[in-house]
């Protein structure tokens, strides 16, 4: 089957059996156990970010169940050579049907197909239906699916995959075995890229690989796609380097981003416009500039509060101090960058829109107003008699104000001899699961992420439907702002923990509990 035609790396290095899966230990364990103990269920739901291996796994399941070289029994080591394995690899197997619910026509096809499922396997092997992006199915198709999943014909297996778990009806997901895929980390992606580069004799340096891994953002398929593109520049005497990666990606080099950020911090409109013109002249498009600037500012914001910030941000952090730029100011800039991205959708003049934005951001009129207001609030709180506090959000320190409905539940604090509930400042029990840590930040928009970070809020625990946050008293002026983003925070927390949180309590405290701040 192999020809001289170049086979894309992501296909060539696609995992072929369970053991090959990268970074998905719990998925692997579940599947190995199921196959070895003959505990195959009728429906699997594969959830997780794109590029994390869901579709490959669906095919691996199919091969493992139907390989002919194991005496007709499921195996964790499908041979990859028998008629059944090859049929699946080439997408020509009569026993395996793949449907992409997101594709044109997929929706109707899916319903029709599902309605016909009752015809059991013809060949005696497992009949496997793989439905990709299953959340896109129509209601009619979901109903048909529910019917077959509830009373599945013998040897019919559904493997459903989705990037948006929340959109799959509970009636379906509750009847499936859920396999949760994690995004592949930068280190895991780097290791794989090194391996592939070596096997393919691609000469590429470590920094370039790290950059690819970072850019791929958890999607191995994208990372290998990039490596593929870059491989043509590989020469035995000159490795592919970071500069080449930037070029291929159309990204702005870090020092240029730093220069732009410096001008923003210094409110230097003149320089800023000049830098912008240079970027545009080099063919960078306004949307890409905006996105990269956003990322960079977010990186700055995250590093400002770190004890040992990343080297590329140290000079900017210094400058921000010098220029007395406060964190929430950067948050507001980030926020307005977000609205700028939206504005691009409605204009053909994106270059001008971007220029106007830059001038505005250098003046920062609205931000200065808030700054002034804050100064006044602080004075007010120091006890000086002033008129009415205008924008001060009324918050009582150390008083969780949202629903306190939940009765003193018999919280089984793991091991700890749970003390009787104290009325004072809540001492959050050591968060029972690490999933209530800060992983949810990855699911927030840059603006909300920035707001969360700069308000120095902490998610201290998740209990049932309630997420408990704390924020230090000195940032309570940001509480209302943070609360206005509650919906997004909830969604992010639920996404990262798979939980079912409905309420966020933000408690203002003198000092945020440090114990729970890190997993």
Give the binding site for Zn ion (CB under 5 A): 67, 69, 78-79, 82, 85
Closest to Zn ion by CB, 65 or 469: 65
Which residues partner with 131 through β-bridges?
99, 160
Determine contact, residues 63/80, Cβ cutoff 8 Å. Answer: yes
Secondary structure class of 226 (helix, strand, coil): helix
Exposure of 209 in the CB half-sphere (CA atoms within 13 A) = 19
Closest CA to 254 of 315, 333, 191: 315
Closest contact distance (angstroms) between CB of 152 and Zn ion is 24
Q: Output 298-301 pairs: Cβ under 8 A, ≥24 positions apart.
A: 298/334, 298/446, 298/449, 298/450, 300/261, 300/330, 301/327, 301/330, 301/331, 301/334, 301/450, 301/453, 301/454
Burial of 280 (0-12, 13-18, 19+ CB in 10 A): middle
Cα 323 to the center of its chain, rounded Å: 33
Phi, psi values for residue 361, rounded to 5°: -70, -25
* Cα Rg of the chain (Å, integer): 27
SS3 percent helix, strand, coil of the chain, rounded to 5, is 50, 10, 40
Which 3 state secondary structure label does DSSP give 470? strand
* Tally: H helices and E strands in the chain: 21, 8
Residue (78 or 447) nearer to Zn ion, CB: 78
Query: In degrees to the nearest 10, what's the CA dihedral of 98, 99, 100, 101?
Result: -150
DSSP conformation class of 204: B
Q: Smaller CB distance to Zn ion: residue 86 or 392?
A: 86
In 3-state terms, what secondary structure has residue 78? coil
Q: How far apart, in whole angstroms, are the C-alpha atoms of residue 56 and residue 17?
A: 9
d(CA 359, CA 271) in angstroms, rounded, equals: 10
Residue nearer to Zn ion on the CB measure, 85 or 453: 85
Q: How far apart are CA 82 and CA 34, in angstroms?
A: 22
Strand partners of residue 138 = none
Q: Which of 500, 426, 431 is nearest to 459 (CA)?
A: 431
Assigned token pair, 300: 């700055």
Torsion of CA 482, 484, 486, 489, to 10 degrees: -60
Which of 70/203 has CB closer to Zn ion?
A: 70
Decide if 461 contacts 438 (C-beta within 8 A). no
d(CA 18, CA 10): 17
Residue among 71 and 408 whose Cβ is closer to Zn ion: 71
Q: Scanning the structure block, which residue is given the tokens 């918050």?
A: 395
**Residue 157 or 331 having the CB closest to Zn ion:** 157
By the 8 A CB rule, do 51 and 97 touch? no
Q: Least Å distance between CB 76 and Zn ion?
A: 12
CB of 72 to Zn ion, least distance (A): 11
31 vs 358, beta carbon nearer Zn ion = 31
């Amino acid at each position: 089957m192999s020809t001289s035609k170049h086979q894309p790396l992501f296909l060539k290095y696609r995992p072929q059996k369970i053991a090959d899966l990268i970074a998905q230990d719990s998925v692997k364990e579940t599947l190995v156990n199921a196959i070895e103990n003959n505990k195959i269920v009728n429906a699997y739901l594969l959830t997780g970010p794109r590029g994390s291996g869901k579709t490959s796994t669906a095919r691996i399941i199919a091969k493992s169940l139907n390989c002919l070289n194991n005496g007709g029994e499921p195996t964790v080591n499908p041979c990859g050579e028998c008629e059944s394995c090859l049929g699946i690899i080439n997408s020509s197997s009569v026993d395996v049907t793949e449907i992409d619910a997101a594709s044109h026509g997929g929706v109707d096809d899916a319903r029709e197909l599902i309605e016909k499922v009752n015809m059991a396997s013809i060949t005696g092997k497992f009949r496997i239906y793989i439905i990709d992006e299953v959340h896109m199915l129509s209601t009619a198709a979901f109903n048909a699916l529910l019917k077959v999943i509830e009373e599945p014909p013998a040897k019919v297996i559904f493997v459903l995959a989705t990037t948006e778990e929340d959109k799959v009806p509970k009636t379906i997901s509750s009847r499936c075995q859920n396999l949760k895929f994690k995004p592949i980390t930068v280190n895991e992606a780097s290791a794989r890229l090194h391996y592939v580069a070596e096997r393919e004799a691609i000469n590429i340096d470590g920094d370039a690989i790290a950059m690819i891994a970072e850019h791929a953002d958890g999607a191995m398929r994208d990372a290998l796609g990039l490596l593929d593109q870059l491989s043509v520049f590989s020469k035995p005497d000159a490795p592919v380097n970071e500069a080449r990666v930037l070029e291929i990606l159309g990204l702005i080099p870090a020092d240029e981003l730093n220069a732009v950020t410096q001008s923003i911090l210094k409110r230097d409109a003149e320089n800023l416009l000049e830098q912008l013109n240079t970027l545009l002249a080099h063919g960078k498009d306004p949307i890409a500039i905006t996105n990269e600037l956003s990322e960079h500012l977010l990186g700055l914001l995250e590093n400002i509060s770190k004890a040992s910030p990343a080297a590329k941000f140290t000079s900017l952090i210094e400058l921000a101090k010098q220029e007395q730029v406060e964190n929430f100011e950067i948050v507001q800039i980030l926020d307005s960058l977000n609205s700028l991205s939206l504005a691009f959708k409605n204009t053909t003049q994106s270059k001008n829109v971007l220029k106007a934005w830059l001038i505005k951001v250098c003046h920062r009129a609205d931000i200065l107003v808030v700054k002034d207001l804050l100064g006044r609030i602080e004075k007010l709180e120091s006890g000086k008699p002033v008129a009415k506090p205008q924008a001060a959000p009324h918050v009582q320190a150390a008083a969780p104000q949202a629903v306190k409905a939940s009765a003193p539940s018999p919280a089984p604090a793991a091991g700890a001899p749970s003390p009787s509930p104290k009325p004072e400042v809540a001492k959050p029990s050591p968060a029972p699961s690490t999933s209530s840590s800060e992983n949810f930040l990855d699911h927030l928009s840059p603006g909300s992420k920035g707001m969360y970070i700069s308000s120095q809020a902490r998610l201290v625990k998740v209990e049932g439907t309630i997420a408990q946050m704390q924020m230090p008293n000195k940032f309570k002026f940001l509480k209302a702002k943070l609360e206005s983003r509650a919906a997004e925070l909830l969604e992010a927390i639920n996404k990262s923990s798979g939980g079912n949180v409905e309420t966020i309590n933000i408690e203002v405290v003198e000092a945020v509990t440090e114990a729970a701040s890190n997993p």
